[in-house]
Amino acid sequence: MSNAFIAFQKNDETRSIVEAIIADNPNAIVNEQPGMVKVDVPGRLTIKRQTVSDLMGRDFDLQELQIHLITISGHLDETDDEFTLSWNS
């Protein structure tokens, strides 16, 4: 199965986002690089607004991901509550 992935600039906000991905995607593989953190998940990667909000201790809007994103792979679907990347095959 192909990996869907997402990469962020490393900072305090993305620390919580990555933590949320790990919590919600049991197969997540985290890869740390200089200034950047990349998370791969086989097939489907989901970011849940509520999990990120809980970890940050404040309301989080999924569109805030815009500020930190570096790259993604997979088809994107975004609602108010979930941001999902997936491959069909």
Partner 1 sequence: MDMKANKKLGLKERYALMTRDLEWDTTYEPMDKVFPCTSYEGIKIHDWDKWQDPFRLTMDAYWKYQAEKERKLYAIIDAFNQNNGHLGVTDARYLNAVKLFIGAVPHLEYMAFRGFSHLGRQMVGAGPRVACLMQAIDELRHYQTQIHSISNYNKYYNGMHDFANQMSRVWYLSVTKSFFDDAYTSGPFEFMVAIGFSFEYVLTNLLFVPFISGAAYNGDMAAMTFGFSAQSDEARHMTLGLECIKFMLEQDPDNLPIVQRWMDKWMHRGARILGVIGMMMDYMLPKRVMSWQEAWEAYYEQNGSALFNDLARYGIRPPKVGQLAAFEKEHISHQLWAGFYQYGALTSFHTWIPSDEEMDWLSSKYPNTFDKYYRPRWEYWKEEAKQGRRFYNKTLPMLCQTCQIPLLFTEPDDPTQISYRDTEYKGEHYHFCSDGCKEIFEHEPEKYIQSWLPAHQIVQGNSFNPGTDPTAPDFDVVGAVFQHYNMQHGRDNLDFDGSEDQKNFAAWRAAATKN
> What is 31-58 written as a DSSP string?
EEETTEEEEEEESEEEEEHHHHHHHHTS
User: Is 53 a residue that touches partner 1 (CB under 8 A)?
Assistant: no
User: Is 2 a residue that touches partner 1 (CB under 8 A)?
Assistant: yes
User: Is 71 a residue that touches partner 1 (CB under 8 A)?
Assistant: yes
Coil, strand, or helix at residue 61? coil
Among 3, 23, 24, 28, the residue binding partner 1 under the rule CB under 8 A is: 3
- Nearest Cα neighbor of 11 from 49, 47, 37 is 37
Q: How far is the CB of 70 from partner 1 (least distance, A)?
A: 4
User: Is 15 a residue that touches partner 1 (CB under 8 A)?
Assistant: no
